[in-house]
Structure 1
Amino acid sequence: MDDVDFDELVASLTLREENQAIKSYQNTVAVACPACEARFDDLVVCKENPTSLNLSKQLDLCVGSADGQAVLFTHKK
């Protein structure tokens, strides 16, 4: 994700949840995933190390990092 402007990417998304462990954004404008170039559904920023995620559905994930934090791009199946 070195060539991706993370702040610009996040500015295009809608904040859905923020707590001590994560920050979650919804992709409401069909931004392309920087890893696979397909539209992604949500972006999850892991603020704590380690962080546990409880996923309620099966998802494909693309993973990157920004500012030393893991970022997950979810793709609903």
Structure 2
Amino acid sequence: MDDAAYDDLISSVTPHESSGGVTTYRNTVSIACPACEKPFDDLVVCEEEYNSLELSMLLDLCVTTHDDDVLLFTHKK
């Protein structure tokens, strides 16, 4: 994902939580996922080389990168 697309995305989602190299954002305006083009629920940005995620529900995930960060787009089942 290029810088302009990333900046547009981050400016359009709502910050939710940041902890341990992981930042989450809520998609409150139904932005389309860049991978599957369907609205996503949350954006999870993994900023560290290694991250661990504990999922409390079954999700579909779409993935891309920006610089060295991994971006996960969640889709609740």
Which structure has greater helix proportion?
A: 2
RMSD of the TM alignment (CA)? 1.4
Counterpart of 1:40 in structure 2 is 40
Gaps of 5+ in 2: none
Q: Is the 1:24–1:42 contact (alpha carbons within 8 Å) kept by the matching residues of 2?
A: yes
2: distance between equivalents of 1:32 and 1:50? Answer: 27
1: distance between equivalents of 2:55 and 2:16? Answer: 15
CA shift in 2, pair 1:17/1:3, >3 Å: closer
Query: 4+ residue runs of structure 1 moved beyond 4 angstroms?
Result: none
Q: Is the 1:21–1:48 contact (alpha carbons within 8 Å) kept by the matching residues of 2?
A: yes
2: distance between equivalents of 1:44 and 1:56? Answer: 14
Gaps of 5+ in 1: none
Q: Is the 2:40–2:75 contact (alpha carbons within 8 Å) kept by the matching residues of 1?
A: yes
